[in-house]
Structures are given as C-alpha cells and as structure tokens.
Amino acid sequence: MSSDPATGQASFDDDDYPAFTMGRAAEMLGTTPGFLRSLDEVKLIVPQRSEGGHRRYSRYQLRLAARARELVDEGTALEAACRIIILEDQLAEALRMNEQLRGES
C-alpha cells in the first residue's frame, strides 16, 4: 500500500491499492461475491486481506474481474476466461515494453 509520507494517508489513486470490500466490488461489477471468490479460487485475482481477514480488491483486480465476467457471460468457461485474461495482460505488458525500448533508441 502506498501512502503520502506527509499525511500518512493511503493513496487511492494507486491502481494496486486494495480499496474495495468484496460487497462493494461485487456491487460495482454487477456480480455476486461468489463469483469473486471463484476468481480467487482459480488464482486469477488474489485479493489482499484486511486485519479481520476480509477480502479487499484493487481497481486493477476489478478490471480483471470485469473482463472475466464479460467472457463468462459470453459463454466462455471460467478457466478458459482466466487463461485468456492472463494472455491479454502478458501481451499488453510486452507491447508496453516494446514501445519503451523503441523510445530509448
């Protein structure tokens, strides 16, 4: 978790900050907490845990969950949807790295 050293407050602008509870995340995605738990079970997203053991999700994780829901709603099996999302994420990272290397030349 990143925080502002001057105030000690967490940075909610950070894509990886676990700002959302399971209930709020499910509400935002229009899905059930069970769907989010299934994404945790297949290790697509592994939420951080609060001191009380409650799942907390970041904006990045919610984007992955939204993509998974989209694919599942289209009839893709959950495991296949997760693999597609992982490959899409790897491709996006490779493209970013390629663009960065082009900028350095």
Residue 54 CA to residue 78 CA, distance in Å, equals 23
Token readout for 43 is 């290790």
The reported pLDDT for the residue numbered 13 is 78
The per-residue pLDDT for range 87-99, each reduced to its tens digit, is: 999 999 999 999 9
Distance, CA of 28 to chain centre: 13
Segments of the chain scoring below 70 in pLDDT? 1-12
- The neighbouring-strand residues paired with 57 are 20
The reported pLDDT for the residue numbered 6 is 45
